[in-house]
Structure 1
């Protein structure tokens, strides 16, 4: 049974007549004109008095005060927007108990915890199930109404306070796992683009990194873990950090690939998971580029305003047939001013008006951009591919591009 909301300035003996209070209350703004109900669950009559004072006319008239969770949620109904305010809990019941029962009876409701002397610590236990908390004893009417409005918006979007905090923490964690691709070495400059296919994330299954060796050479890796989602991204991070460690420990390129394959086979969640990789070492002293490929696409070589496709000797992807890798090193000259552009297949697998863009389509587009400086070239290449694929659903895979120029020249 619902309890009449007591009028703030009327003696207790006159409060049971069921009349709505007509005292002046804040009007609020037009956003409060939407059809929604406010249910107060509390054992404390003062919670009801304070809440009613803070609400504009229409929500205050729709406010229902209950001591029973089940009855309160049932009275409010299941249609339309519902905001449940949780105040003083029954004796023997914790805040978590009450919120759990609210969620059982009204899973889509916006739930706000009314702050009290004992709710600060208890709120931590329910942060993942509620849309926030509000101090109804100190808040101004406008601030109180804003809290309800935000809670309703969070509920509609399916978000909770803890969920938003977790999302922020995840973003910080992902940023920390991204490599710094700015090569601090004499004789080299880098330009890059990295965009995971998944929305609202910073990491995908594509990975790349650059490390300067003790002899001044530049070590580069570009890789692509099969599949999508967080599992592919996590495995990509494992492989990138393992490669970086192997380089710093002085392992050769072939030793590095054998180590990465072992890590992949031990860390992958599914036996079918594999990864393609290309490893480069650029020597500024000998002006040479040494390459090892494990199933990865070729790369672009920029030389004196021209662009050509380079396809190193092929090798098996990591993890496809563990222990049977047939990887081989190849070497080519890289004069001063030349540039190398590595990428993952997401750059050229998109559909266009002529079908799949493919390697030849990417090379044609790169040729038209050959006069551009390094970072401008990378940005224009990605933008051009995206525009070609846009009418057909856009790019549907992670995209990583890394441009490495020799002798600090852009490669044009």
Structure 2
């Protein structure tokens, strides 16, 4: 089986938003707890002649109150009054400031003779350091602008790194949730194609599976949960896993679908959510099958020397989750010695038939495409690839709905089952 892997959706944790650089004027929050050594910046001007707006806080409590969205940078004085404090206390204060303002640029201010602590401050997380004796408006203004831009770059790089890690984790998770058909011992050939409609997702609300039970019967199903979000994708996985477990437990037809409806009703996030489903059980001799439809499009049957045709839809039941105490008749279908059965979700038939067109492809259009591709000699994997490619081309680009297509074949072909 080949499952195309589209672009992975990025899942980001909440990140601090970087402070925007102003077109004119800068606001600086100064944190200085020693009035005798207060930073004298109220008269300083930026290099464009604009006065720097200064706010002064004597402690972190005041700083938290003054730290509004229009503050562009924080200047923390690392000089400590002689109160018997350890040299590391100033860096501890810096760490508290960084936790208090994770999106703001921080400048460390110290004396020229304390360059070692200034360098350590940058290692801890400050964007830069300034010496008190060299402080003037031009130096400070440029330092603030540099610090803000560097902080923005740091936050952007951090977001990019974390989103890549999240993307890799989600990709591994979603690939693990895609099915691995269990058809050992069967002479049927299997192929599938899957494309989620959500941008950058690997998994959508469509789902499928195929297994062979101990008596030699091959069971296959395909379904579609209404909607396109992650909740619908999760529900589709739950229904697929439940179907496999119930099938191996010996349930089929109406009993199986009734139990799946109970699973859906219990697991869905909203009472309006429903799912369509098509199940097929192929007899051990491969010549006949039982088909159940729960609001789902009919499979397409293809036999050598005959035009493709849709299996009858009349004896079908409602989608799962719509009606309590619903029933789903099982229809017996004669397949013969050599055949192909294609099961699909409505994403294959609801695309447009021309860019900007309102006309849908529909089942008739799908049958026409299959007829042409079969006439060209395509089977199995090649047939599915050609059909999905032509449907996308007619639509004028990527399909917006989830798409799943499953193909089972017996006889008359040489492509091995993956």
Q: TM-score range by the shorter chain?
A: 0.5 to 0.7
Q: Is the 8 A contact 2:286 2:410 kept in 1?
A: no
* Pairing partner for 2:386 from 380, 388, 399: 380
Which residue in the other structure is 2:335 paired with?
Answer: 334
Which residue in the other structure is 1:61 paired with?
Answer: none
CA distance in 2, matches of 1:154, 1:303: 62
Count the aligned residue pairs. Answer: 314
Which residue in the other structure is 1:206 paired with?
Answer: 206
Q: CA deviation at 1:133?
A: 12
Q: CA deviation at 1:101?
A: 1.3
Report the aligned-residue RMSD.
4.3
Please state whether the residue corresponding to 2:101 is helix, strand or coil.
helix
Kindly tell me: are residues 408 and 303 of structure 1, through their superposed partners in 2, closer, same or farther at Cα, counting changes over 3 Å?
A: closer
Equivalent runs, 1:260-299 vs 2, <5 Å: 260-285=260-285, 287-299=287-299
Q: CA deviation at 1:228?
A: 1.3
TM, length-normalised to structure 1: 0.65
Cα-to-partner distance string for 1:141-161 (whole Å, 9 max, x where unaligned): xxxxxxxx9996684588254
Q: CA deviation at 1:167?
A: 2.5
CA distance in 2, matches of 1:133, 1:162: 21
CA distance in 2, matches of 1:333, 1:133: 75
Unaligned 5+ segments in structure 1 are 1-38, 42-66, 107-114, 124-131, 135-148
CA distance in 2, matches of 1:327, 1:263: 16
Which residue in the other structure is 1:30 paired with?
Answer: none
Which residue in the other structure is 1:236 paired with?
Answer: 236
Which residue in the other structure is 1:98 paired with?
Answer: 98
> Higher relative contact order by CA 8 Å / sep ≥ 6: 1 or 2?
2
Equivalent runs, 1:13-412 vs 2, <5 Å: 90=90, 93=93, 95=95, 98-103=98-103, 105=104, 155-156=155-156, 159=159, 161-181=161-181, 183-285=183-285, 287-304=287-304, 306-312=307-313, 313-323=315-325, 325-353=326-354, 355-370=359-374, 371-390=377-396, 394-407=398-411, 409=413
Unaligned 5+ segments in structure 2 are 1-27, 31-56, 79-87, 106-118, 128-148
Kindly tell me: are residues 211 and 99 of structure 1, through their superposed partners in 2, closer, same or farther at Cα, counting changes over 3 Å?
A: same
CA distance in 2, matches of 1:319, 1:226: 11
Q: Is the 8 A contact 1:188 1:408 kept in 2?
A: no
Which residue in the other structure is 1:21 paired with?
Answer: none
TM, length-normalised to structure 2: 0.64
Q: CA deviation at 1:188?
A: 0.6
Kindly tell me: are residues 152 and 314 of structure 1, through their superposed partners in 2, closer, same or farther at Cα, counting changes over 3 Å?
A: same
Cα-to-partner distance string for 1:256-285 (whole Å, 9 max, x where unaligned): 111110010111111100000001001231
Q: CA deviation at 1:251?
A: 1.3
Q: CA deviation at 1:328?
A: 0.2
